[in-house]
């Protein structure tokens, strides 16, 4: 099994854990659990906000599930070139976290609206780890092709 396939499998397993948390343990602080946000708890005081918060949480879980399933299709049926481009796309799409999401979670963290404090840094490190994993897998794979 090649390094690109291994990195895709690792990502799919970890993200499937996040999907399960988002769908079935919404009050969890594990993985990408939304209970780290004080606003999650505050939303429970208003029925409409509570429904909206759950809707958005399940929407995110659904999008993650789409990514996972598409990656599994690539893994099992894709050509070598498709796997290479899939990893490139994963690098680019995961990197968008630092464009819009990270500044927001960092600000919420500095405002004391996230528990545990410093979670934004932990999440940033975890996402950087995914980026690094895919980047190294791509580089190792491309070097090994020659």
Q: pLDDT tens across 4-40, in order?
A: 999 999 999 999 999 999 999 999 999 889 999 999 9
The tokens of 70 are what? 């598409």
pLDDT tens sequence across 96-141: 999 999 999 999 999 999 999 999 999 999 999 999 999 999 999 9
Query: 53 and 43 in contact (C-beta within 8 Å)?
Result: yes
**Token match 């993650």: residue?**
64
pLDDT tens sequence across 94-103: 999 999 999 9
User: In angstroms, rounded to a whole number, what is the distance separating the alpha carbons of residues 121 and 74?
Assistant: 31
What is the band of 146 on the pLDDT scale with cuts at 50, 70, 90? Answer: low
pTM reported for the whole predicted model: 0.91
């Amino acid at each position: 099994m090649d390094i690109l396939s291994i990195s895709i499998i690792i990502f799919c397993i970890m993200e499937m854990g996040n999907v399960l948390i988002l769908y079935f343990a919404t009050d969890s602080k594990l993985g990408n659990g939304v209970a780290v946000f004080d606003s999650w708890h505050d939303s429970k005081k208003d029925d409409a906000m509570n429904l909206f918060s759950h809707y958005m949480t399940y929407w995110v879980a659904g999008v993650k599930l789409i990514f996972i399933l598409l990656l599994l299709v690539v893994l099992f049926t894709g050509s070598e070139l498709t796997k290479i481009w899939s990893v490139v796309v994963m690098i680019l799409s995961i990197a968008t976290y630092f464009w819009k999401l990270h500044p927001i979670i960092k600000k919420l963290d500095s405002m004391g609206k996230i528990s545990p404090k410093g979670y934004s840094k932990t999440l940033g490190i975890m996402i950087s780890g995914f980026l690094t994993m895919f980047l190294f897998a791509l580089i190792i794979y491309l070097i090994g092709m020659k």
